[in-house]
């Protein structure tokens, strides 16, 4: 099925919205009638943008950056990246390890909506077991978490599309969004996001999509005190500020990537984040 975004389709979608149909209902209706996640999400995203930004058909799949890991286009010293009508600021860029901090990646409304959608589905976070197959509850991680399916809701699809464009990495190569809530005192001790090839459980995990090669942690609120994302190897603390996000990439599953990182204890209030992990291959 070709899924070009014709003027008629756009008009139909606009009429539905004007008639009070929610974006979510429209998105689910499009999926049930055979639309692909990315195309359906694009139609709805474009409705918010000036007509000059509309395209007649879905754009070609996101081109991979040369390096083989996700990477934003920061050529020519860009400080603001225009992604799907959002002005994403580049607040900090470090070469090695590759760490980029973005300002205004998500709107406050998007942060609130994502946290609310996740709230009822949180359970004590698990991490990959070290000894045998499967995952286990781990004292190093005292947050509660949940995973959305990729493209599960219109909001997930919209955020996933924005991530894909920002980091030039296909939506298909990303895991579903994970949402974590840390209550006061909760933390995530320093760890690597790649799967340790020496762990017994890694072989099975790697069959689906291969290694993780990049992470984007999005802050869904601003904890009053504490909760920074810390990178002990390079002594960098990224403060958790609502709507901002920190990206880092790792081209091999090796501590030499200097991507050791953790979530510092939350000292007051709560901390909410969404994490997107990107794989080297398609995660289907």
Ligand X SMILES: O=C(O)CCC(=O)C(=O)O
Residue 283 touches which of ligand X, Fe ion, none (Cβ within 5-8 Å per kind): none
With binding defined as CB under 5 A, does residue 160 bind Fe ion?
Answer: no
Instruction: Name the residue among 64, 25, 30, 258 with its Cα closest to residue 171.
Output: 64
Cβ of residue 256: shortest distance to Fe ion, in angstroms?
17
Structure tokens at 216: 């984007």
Instruction: Judge whether 174 and 278 are in contact, CB under 8 Å.
Output: yes
Q: How far is the CB of 42 from ligand X (least distance, A)?
A: 27
Task: Report which of 148, 174, 180, 147 is spatially closest to residue 162, judged by C-alpha positions.
Answer: 174
Residues in the chain: 284
- The yes or no reply on residue 275 touching ligand X (CB under 6 A) is yes
Tokens of 127: 């991490």
Of 186, 193, 223, 245, the one binding ligand X (CB under 6 A) is: 193
User: Would you say 216 and 188 are in contact if contact means Cβ atoms under 8 Å apart?
Assistant: no
Token look-up 């014709």 returns 6
Burial class (CB in 10 A: 0-12, 13-18, 19+), 15: exposed
Minimum Å gap between C-beta 98 and ligand X is 16
Distance CA 177, CA 145 (A): 10
Please state, as a whole number, how many other Cβ atoms lie within 10 Å of the Cβ of residue 104. 17
* Contact residue for ligand X among 229, 249, 257, 259 (CB under 6 A): 229
- Selected from 102, 188, 194, 231, the binder of ligand X by CB under 6 A is 188
Residue 175 binding Fe ion, by CB under 5 A:
no
Size of the site for ligand X (CB under 6 A): 9
- Minimum distance from residue 23 beta carbon to ligand X (Å): 27
Q: Which residue is nearest to Fe ion (CB)?
A: 193
Q: Is 193 in the site for Fe ion (CB under 5 A)?
A: yes
- Give the range of 80-88, 128-136, 185-193, 230-238 binding Fe ion by CB under 5 A: 185-193
Closest separation in Å from C-beta 276 to ligand X: 9
Could you identify the residue written with the tokens 């600021």? 89
DSSP letter, residue 47? H
- Give CA angle at 134 (132, 138), nearest 5°: 90
Binding flag, residue 214, ligand X (CB under 6 A): no
Q: Return the number of the residue (84 or 214) whose C-beta is nearest ligand X.
A: 214
Q: By CB under 6 A, is residue 201 in contact with ligand X?
A: no
Kindly list the residues in this chain that would bind Fe ion in the complex (CB under 5 A). Answer: 193
Kindly list the residues in this chain that would bind ligand X in the complex (CB under 6 A). Answer: 180, 188, 193, 217, 229, 261, 263, 273, 275
């Amino acid at each position: 099925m070709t899924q070009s975004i014709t003027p008629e389709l756009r008009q139909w979608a606009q009429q539905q919205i004007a008639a009070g149909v929610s974006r979510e209902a429209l998105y689910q209706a499009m999926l049930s009638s055979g639309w692909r996640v990315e195309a359906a999400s694009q139609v709805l995203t474009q409705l918010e943008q000036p007509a000059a930004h509309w395209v007649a058909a879905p754009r070609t799949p996101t081109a991979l950056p040369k390096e083989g890991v996700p990477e934003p286009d920061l050529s020519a010293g860009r400080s603001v990246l225009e992604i799907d009508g959002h002005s994403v600021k580049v607040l900090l860029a470090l070469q090695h390890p590759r760490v980029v901090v973005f300002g205004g990646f998500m709107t406050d409304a998007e942060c609130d909506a994502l946290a609310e959608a996740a709230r009822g589905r949180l359970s004590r976070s698990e991490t990959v077991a070290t000894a045998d197959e499967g995952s286990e509850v781990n004292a190093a991680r005292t947050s509660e978490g949940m995973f959305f399916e990729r493209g599960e809701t219109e909001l997930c699809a919209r955020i996933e599309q924005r991530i894909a464009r920002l980091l030039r990495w296909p939506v298909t190569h990303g895991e579903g969004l994970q949402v974590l809530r840390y209550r006061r005192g909760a933390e995530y001790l320093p760890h690597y996001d790649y799967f340790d090839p020496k762990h017994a459980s890694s072989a099975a995990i790697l069959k689906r999509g291969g290694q993780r090669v990049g992470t984007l942690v999005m802050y869904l609120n601003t904890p009053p005190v504490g909760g920074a994302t810390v990178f002990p190897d390079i002594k960098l603390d990224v403060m958790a500020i609502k709507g901002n996000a920190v990206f880092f990439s790792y081209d091999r599953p090796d501590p030499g990537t200097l991507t050791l990182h953790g979530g510092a204890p939350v000292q007051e209030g709560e901390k909410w984040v969404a994490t997107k992990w990107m794989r080297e291959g398609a995660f289907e």
